[in-house]
């Protein structure tokens, strides 16, 4: 499901600040699959946000997406937030 990506392949619109925020949520995902990396998290977020059917709201110009995905052997709801510029801001598990 998740493939590897080099840091040089990260989208140019993911700022260092947003990478730091994404890193904060990485341990949540690693509870379900210890092999998940920041690269995987970004790819997952991009994939969820690319499907307009996953869009659930647009608060203050941001776009919020949600999708149920399998991580490890567990189904979890993942929320993805794009900032008002369309950059990946957050990928986290909704409990």
d(CA 3, CA 70) in angstroms, rounded, equals 14
pLDDT band with cut points at 50, 70 and 90 for residue 2: very low
Total-model pTM: 0.84
More confident residue, 10 or 46: 46
Q: How confident is the model at residue 15 (pLDDT cuts 50, 70, 90)?
A: confident
**What is the C-alpha to C-alpha distance for residues 69 and 9, in angstroms, rounded to an integer?**
23
Q: Give the mean pLDDT of 44-65.
A: 96
CA–CA distance, 21 with 55 (Å, rounded to integer): 21
CB atoms within 10 A of CB 26: 15
* Mean pLDDT across 29-43: 95
């Amino acid at each position: 499901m998740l493939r590897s990506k080099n840091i040089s392949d990260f989208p140019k619109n993911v700022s260092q600040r947003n990478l730091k925020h994404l890193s904060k949520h990485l341990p949540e995902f690693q509870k379900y699959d210890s092999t998940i990396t920041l690269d995987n998290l970004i790819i997952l977020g991009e994939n969820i946000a690319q499907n307009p059917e996953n869009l659930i709201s647009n608060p203050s110009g941001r776009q919020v997406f949600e999708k149920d995905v399998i991580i490890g052997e567990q189904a979890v709801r993942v929320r993805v937030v794009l900032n008002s510029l369309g950059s990946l801001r957050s990928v986290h598990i909704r409990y």
